[in-house]
Amino acid sequence: MFGYLVRRLLATIPVMGVVALFVFSLLYIAPGDPAAVIAGDFATPEQIAAIHKRLGLDEPFLVRFGHWLWAVLHGDLGISIFTNLPVTQLIGQRLEPTLALTLTTLVVTIVFAVPLGVIAAWKAGTWIDRVVMIVAVAGFSLPAFVLAYLLILAFSIKLDLLPVQGYVSFHDGFLPFIEHLILPSITLGLVYGALIARFTRASMLEVLSQDYIRTAQAKGLANDQVLLRHALKNAAVPIATVIGIGVALLISGVIVTETVFAIPGIGRLTVDAILRRDYPIIQGVVLLFSAAYVLVNLLVDVSYTLLDPRVRY
């Protein structure tokens, strides 16, 4: 196992290298000139050229990439163009809301989506199965921002049960903390949970058709033993895979959800940086999300050995 982990970690180096090259190239691929944005609409060409020189935008691509990559390897993601603050500091200030929203969504979604997928497979062809699949298809098809506004309209404006927007830190009270995360977590969780529920159902249907399941039923085992000890245990590996793949969907949903609910997290920071063409922040956030996704995939691979004893590395 240790050797496998070392090989996987070494394999992430070229992957992150390609990601770093792409992230840095955003400055050249994206339309618009950050120097012109900083200078304003009435700036002269001389003023724009001076800003180019100050930011190093007049240097060759490979030289700038080398300087940027060397700084990244030392934990320096650059300086924000507009705030003149380190990007690592800005990300650190916004990290708590994003982690809180992501973790609560992940936990709640798995707790509800996996059992729903199991029940739908066990009751395949019945009205229970149809209801679960209708909800799953609707959740996966409905845009996150549309669902967010519908939830705000229902629970915040009409019923006045939950706050419309904002975020309260865990240190300022557990109840306000949870209240501000309920609607954003439902918004993210319905989309993410729909994917998990549908895939869980498909995996369970495949396992439930195997001979050893029929043998277990013929031996008189209770339904919960057949489902949990035999079927779900053997369907756990593909379910874990889709949970890991769905993290990319979760990360993209965080950006939209934080914007709608005015949560001061990394997603909101990203949107603000894109609107202002603050490329150091954009580069730092994309690099961070990419590293997080690579780490999640590694953890999913490691989880295979815990879910299935037959898997060995």
pLDDT at 298: 78
Query: What's the pTM value of the predicted model, to 2 decimals?
Result: 0.78
**CA dist., res. 107 & res. 209, Å (int):** 29
Residues contacting residue 74 through CB under 8 Å, at least 6 positions apart: none
pLDDT higher than threshold 70 for residue 308: no
d(CA 237, CA 306) in angstroms, rounded, equals 10
- Give the rounded percent of residues in the chain with a pLDDT score beyond 90: 0
- Phi then psi for residue 312, to 5 deg, are -135, 145
- DSSP class of 164: S
Residue labelled with tokens 């029940």? 119
Region 127-147: what's the mean pLDDT?
A: 82
pLDDT per residue over 255-290, tens digit each?
Answer: 888 888 888 888 888 888 887 778 788 888 888 888
> Rounded to a whole number, what is the distance in angstroms from the first to the last CA of the chain?
6
Reported as a single tens digit per residue, the pLDDT across 42-101 is: 777 777 777 777 766 677 777 778 887 888 888 888 888 778 888 888 888 888 888 888
The radius of gyration of the chain's CA atoms, rounded to the nearest angstrom, is: 24
Q: Residue 215: its pLDDT value, please?
A: 75
Single-letter code of the amino acid located at 137: V
Q: Does domain 93-307 have CATH number 3.40.640.10?
A: no
Confidence bin at 37 (pLDDT 50/70/90): low
Region 290-308: mean pLDDT is 77
pLDDT of residue 222 exceeding 60, the answer is: yes
- What residue segments make up the domains of the chain, in order of their start? 2-73, 93-307
Report yes or no: 196 and 243 within 8 Å, Cβ to Cβ: yes
Q: Is the pLDDT of residue 313 over 60?
A: no
